[in-house]
Structures are given as C-alpha cells and as structure tokens.
Chains A and B, each alone.
Chain A
Amino acid sequence: MNRNQYDNDISTWSPQGRIYQVEYALEAVKQGSAAVGLRSKTHAILLALKRSSGELASYQNKLIRIDDHLGIAIAGLTSDARVLSNFMRTEAMKSKIMYNRPLPVYRIVSAIGDKSQVNTQNYGRRPYGVGLLVIGVDETGPHLYETSPSGNFLEYYAISIGGRSQSAKTYLEHNYESFADADVDELIVHGLRALHATLQQDKELNTLNCSIGIVGQGQKFEMIQDVDLQRYLDMLGPQGTGDQAAASQGEAPMDTE
C-alpha cells in the first residue's frame, strides 16, 4: 500500500484527502471489546462485554460513572479513557458550581469532540485512542452519544462500538422501533441480545464478563455488575449459539467489523 509515505504524522494529508494517523487511532477503538448503547423515551442504557487477559486476571471495567446523570462506556485504550473520564467529571462538577445545574449532555460531548480534535491537528500530538458511548439525562430527556478519536460525535437511538460490533448493529437496526416505548427491563433484554450477537462461537454472557449502566428521568446513573446481573441474564433465556439472536430475525450475523 502506498500509504507509508503519508502516515507518519498527524499533520500530513494523503493525496486522497485522508489523515491516516486518525484512521489508525480509530482502529484502536475497533480492537476493544464490544459496547452497546440504546435508549427509550425515558431511559438510556449501556451494556458492555468485559475482557480478561486470562483465567488468573480480573475483567477490565468498561463502564465509568461521571455524575448522577451521566455515564460512559469505553472501547479502546483504557488509560486514555481514564484521562477523558476525569476531564468529564471535572466539567460536570464545574457546571454545578458555576451554574447550579447538572451538565447538559450535548455540552460535555461537544467538549470532548473539541478536545479530541486538537490532537488531530497539532504536530507531535497523538489522538486519544478510545471511543466513548455517553449516556445522560438532562432537561431535554435521555440521550445517547458516540465520540471518537477523530473528534466526531453523533447522537443515536442505538449504537455499538468495539470488536464485532457490526453484529450488534444489525440486531439494533432490526429492533430499534420498539425501543422508544420499551420499559427498562425490555430495553436491557434488547441490549443483551445485541451484545450477545458480538460473541464468538461457544462463548456466553455471564455475570463476570458483562456490565450494564442505566440512567433515566428520575433515576440516577446506576451500574449493574456481578451477581445483580443474573436476573437480567435469566430474562435473556437460554443463550445457545452466537447465531441465535440475529438468526431469530432470519439473518446470519456478519463476523466482520
């Protein structure tokens, strides 16, 4: 490939109008394990697959609480996610101190976009290697956003990022029309089905490799982990093979990114 000439630093364009360093950063997000987000009229939820490097290791946390009304799921470089989440926490507190009201979701997401963009245009810097799914509730209701190393961000009804996330997207695309009026439990089951679609053959969702985050009008951001997950996994029913969820829609899941 001819891109070796144009991929050495962030401030070089390729003749096709691409900045390869940014695209390489996006690759880091795709290498992370899957995270799914979806929302209804009253709630927004996140579900994530936790990875462990081996039997002796713990499972990496994917969900971070930012404030009572804000939470994120991460995919990519965990250390970069820590920096961004600390930034978000500081901004959330500043908002309460200065304006006496919780930080509107759009504000913090666009602040991350602006912060991320700086690293795509200054020589010697590198983009943040993490994509976030941000859920939050403000005066205009529940929201779900995706942010990326490029500085782009977009609002969604449902989205997934990370490894094999296309399979989850397919499930979400087929089912999103029923999300708006779903109650929290139904939303979670949809999310778990979407997450399940990203699993490799013979793997299953269990209380160790899963985590759920919920925020809603009148409900503070709450994380569900470990034994508390069992009740939702039971609602999911028998998991069978990885094809089960999408196959019930009459289509085999795609295993590509």
Chain B
Amino acid sequence: MSFYPYTDNGGSALAIAGEDYCLLASDTRQSGEDYKIHAGYVPKAFKLTDSCVYAGVGFSADGVALVKRVRQSIEWYRHAHEKTMSTPALAQMIATVLYSKRFFPYYVGTILGGLDENGRGVVYSFDPVGSFEAELHKAVGSGAELIQPFLDNQVNLKFLPEVERTPLPLDVALQIAKDAFTSAAERDTKTGDYLEIFIIDREGVNVERFDLKRD
C-alpha cells in the first residue's frame, strides 16, 4: 500500500484540421479506479487563444496543471512581445514544458487544435514527454484506439476506393466527430456523459455541448 503519484481519469479527445477551421472535441467524464465515475462534467479542453484550443487527457490533475502553466507562458509572451502567441509557437513551447518534466512526466496525452499563421487548420499532438508532430487529425485518451482508425478512414479516406480529394467541410467534420464519440462512448467505459466541441475559425473560438450516454 504505497503512494503512487498518478491516476488514470480516463476520457477521450479528438481534433480535426480543416482548410480554414479546426475542430477539437472532448468528452467531459472524469473516472476513477475500476469502474468508478467521479463526475460527469469536468472539462478537459480549454481555450488558450483566439486561434488555439488545448486538450489534456489522462491524469486530470496533470492536465489542469499543464494548462495553468501554458496559460502563464502565453501571458508572459504577450507582455514581452505585445502580441498573442501563434499556434505553432505554442506547440513548440508546450513540447519544452512537457520535456522539462522528463523524469516525472505530466501524465497526459495532449492535443492542440488551432489555426496556423496562414489561417489554415492545424492539429498538434504530443506524448507525455513532449514528442510532437503536426497532423490533420488525432485522437487521444482511453478511446483513442477506437477513434483514431475511424478518423483515418473518414477524414483521410484511407482504405476506401480512390476518390477525388475535396476539402472536408465543417459540417461533415462535425458529424464525424459526433459519430466518433457516440461510438466510443458505447465501447469505452471511460468515455461518456457530455461532449464539448470547440470550433476555431477566423472569427474566433466557439464551443457547443452535446449529450453522450451516461452508462
């Protein structure tokens, strides 16, 4: 019976990058050991700037601590440079913050969804110690193994007959995200309750909430 510094609070998040928008969706359930549920609505996704949203899935306390640190860095950057940090700069910075705890990591799967400096949608995903990459779509969390292949198929049109690639419209991406979560909520015990979807576009950041199964 010794102290173990980490807990898995479960939950899932995904992000999809469009041509001029980005979409980040996460569930809000916070789970405990075995099949316990701590709470149905504890947000995992947070707006960082008018063009960037963050989600930290895994150990809830580390996810919250990380976002507090990141928000402070954004504020110091703003004081020093009199402008808001761009999404790619934020991604690089988050990677350094994560690696700074290489030997006692933030136990979170992190994703950033936002617009790059040209206004195109971009998704960055990180491992717990800061390895990161820009991608078009990514899922993290307990439902990642269920959601990621679905995104590969529906967003990247993988393993389907060759079709002409057209940019993914926002409403189609939104439906993909909702379907991904309703499916994940069925098969993953730690995903459910509510779904929060952040949409980032030229106008700013909007958030909508939907119900998921509560079992």
> Can you list 8 residue pairs at the A/B interface with Cβ under 8 Å?
A65-B79, A89-B75, A89-B76, A89-B79, A93-B72, A93-B75, A97-B68, A97-B72
CA distance A97 to B68 in the complex (A): 7
Interface residue total, chain B, C-beta cutoff 8 A = 5
Binding site for B on A (CB under 8 A): 65, 89, 93, 97
CB distance from A59 to the nearest CB of B (A): 16
Where chain B touches its partner, the secondary structure class is helix
- Residues in A with CB closer than 8 Å to B79 are 65, 89
- Residues in B with CB closer than 8 Å to A89 are 75-76, 79
| CB closest residue in chain A, given B69 | A97
Q: Which of B99-135 contact A (CB under 8 A)?
A: none
Binding site for A on B (CB under 8 A): 68, 72, 75-76, 79
The 3 A-B residue pairs with the shortest CB-CB distance, nearest first, are: A93-B72, A97-B68, A89-B79
CB distance from B73 to the nearest CB of A (A): 10
CB distance from B9 to the nearest CB of A (A): 21
| CB closest residue in chain A, given B65 | A97
CA distance A119 to B75 in the complex (A): 29
CB distance from B114 to the nearest CB of A (A): 21
- Residues in A with CB closer than 8 Å to B72 are 93, 97
CA distance A65 to B68 in the complex (A): 20
- Residues in B with CB closer than 8 Å to A65 are 79
Given A89-B76, A97-B68, 4 further pairs, Cβ under 8 A: A65-B79, A89-B75, A89-B79, A93-B75
CB distance from A70 to the nearest CB of B (A): 12
CA distance A202 to B72 in the complex (A): 46
- Residues in B with CB closer than 8 Å to A93 are 72, 75
- Residues in A with CB closer than 8 Å to B68 are 97
| CB closest residue in chain B, given A66 | B79
- Residues in A with CB closer than 8 Å to B75 are 89, 93
CA distance A93 to B68 in the complex (A): 10
CB distance from B100 to the nearest CB of A (A): 18
CA distance A89 to B77 in the complex (A): 12
- Residues in B with CB closer than 8 Å to A97 are 68, 72
CA distance A97 to B70 in the complex (A): 12
CB distance from A11 to the nearest CB of B (A): 35
CA distance A93 to B74 in the complex (A): 11
